[in-house]
Amino acid sequence: MKTLAIETSCDETSIAVIEDGRKILSNIISTQIETHKKFGGVVPEIASRMHVEVISQILKNALEDANIGLNDIDFISVTEGPGLVGALLVGMSFAKALSYSLDIPLIGVNHIKGHICANYISHKNLEPPFIALVISGGHTYLVDVTGYDEYKVIGRTRDDAVGEAFDKVARALGLPYPGGPMIDKLSKVGNPEAINFPRVYLEVNSYDFSFSGLKTAILNYLNQMKQKNETITIEDVAASFQMAVIDVLSEKTFRLLNETKRNKLAIAGGVAANSGIRDIFTKKALEKGIELFIPDMNLCTDNAAMIGSAGYYSYISGKKSTLGLKVDANLSL
């Protein structure tokens, strides 16, 4: 069964053809990062316009790469939210037009479920139940994935998402958008124990997260150092920040694995590309006998292949959207 998947929730226009939820026949991603870099972050209006400009060509490339025609597609999967409303609307309108003209079903997909399902593509043996840690630019969730289309949220951020914290700290350090990959690179040569930034665990037993205090602590540190005319070693700030984030993420994730007695962990979202997170989670998982799944690098950040995988599992579980489907910028898991 083949789905044509469309993802336009933020600053990547992506269309993929996915077979039976796990096999990529094509996955074309056109990123707008270079344009938004000039503004230090994603400008929603520009994002929508750029999706409109390229989406038809991306469809052509995706079909060519998969070596199929539109008539070979069984159903359309499209991101319905969360994301930027104007950007989502471009993909949604395009998806509805295709579904209507080809007379094939339309399936609305939650972008966050898509990130989790990227693991099904990279790891053919992964099956629920498992614990998922979703760490992206806009979202942070600890989820008990009890079935292919069953998600139980256990914890979430109460303020900034992990990727957002990376991007804001990077900005304060004068690094270009998106800051996550830059912090990752600097951390490799910095000392993670140089500065003792706060680890916010919230209430005992809580699985929620809070990263805005950590971000503020770093801004205060940078201001104090500037006032005292002291040299700031940005590699050390980056490494110490990254370690504070990893400590909190790993404490809560492994505590949940222990409590639920699940023995599989899948990490998902753009920040899953972080090499420090990959290294430390790999080590801890090995120590604790947990099987760890992380998507291939190109499937961590936004792409349509993951939307096709989540769309497939929704479809076979009986979900079908109508042409009245609306985008939802704040759709939760």
Taking CB under 5 A as the binding criterion, the range among 36-44, 170-178, 218-226, 302-310 that sits at the site for Zn ion is 302-310
Return the number of the residue (24 or 98) whose C-beta is nearest ligand KG4.
24
CA–CA separation, 282 and 266 (whole Å): 11
Residues sharing a CB contact under 8 Å with residue 78, sequence separation 6 or more, in sequence order: 5, 6, 7, 91, 92, 94, 95, 106, 107, 108, 109, 307, 311
Are 287 and 250 in contact, with CB atoms under 8 Å apart? no
The answer to whether residue 178 forms part of the interface with ligand KG4 (CB under 6 A) is yes
> Is 174 within any annotated ligand binding site?
no
CA–CA separation, 311 and 116 (whole Å)? 12
Residues 128-147 that bind Zn ion (CB under 5 A): 136
Q: Which one of 67-75, 218-226, 263-271, 306-314 is the stretch in contact with ligand KG4 (CB under 6 A)? A: 263-271
The H or E element containing residue 316 is helix 304-316
- Distance of closest approach, residue 191 Cβ to Zn ion, in angstroms: 31
Q: Residue from 302, 304, 309, 312 that binds Zn ion (CB under 5 A)?
A: 302
Tokens 């760490």 sit at which residue? 135
- Give min distance, CB of 120 to ligand KG4, in A: 16
| By CB under 6 A, residue 128 contacts ligand KG4 | no
Return the residue of 13, 32, 79, 274 that touches ligand KG4, per CB under 6 A.
274
Which sign, positive or negative, has the C-alpha torsion 296, 310, 331, 253?
A: negative
Q: How far is the CB of 181 from ligand KG4 (least distance, A)?
A: 4
Question: DSSP letter string over 75-91?
Answer: EEEEEEESS-HHHHHHH
Three-state secondary structure call for residue 293: strand
Going by their DSSP bridges, the two strands 130-135 and 264-268 should be labelled as parallel
Closest to ligand KG4 by CB, 99 or 157: 157
- How many residues contact Zn ion, by CB under 5 A? 2
**C-beta separation of 202 from 154 below 8 A:** no
Using the rule CB under 6 A, which residue among 21, 108, 128, 138 binds ligand KG4? 138
Angle at 214 between CA 209 and CA 218, to 5 degrees: 165
Choose among Zn ion, ligand KG4, none what residue 190 binds, the Cβ cut-off being 5 to 8 Å by kind: none
Query: Would you count residue 108 as binding ligand KG4 (CB under 6 A)?
Result: no
Site residues (vs Zn ion, CB under 5 A): 136, 302
Give the interface with ligand KG4 as residue ranges (CB under 6 A).
Answer: 10, 136-138, 163, 166-167, 178-181, 184, 269-271, 273-274, 301-302
> Known binding site for substrate: residues?
134-138, 167, 180, 184, 274
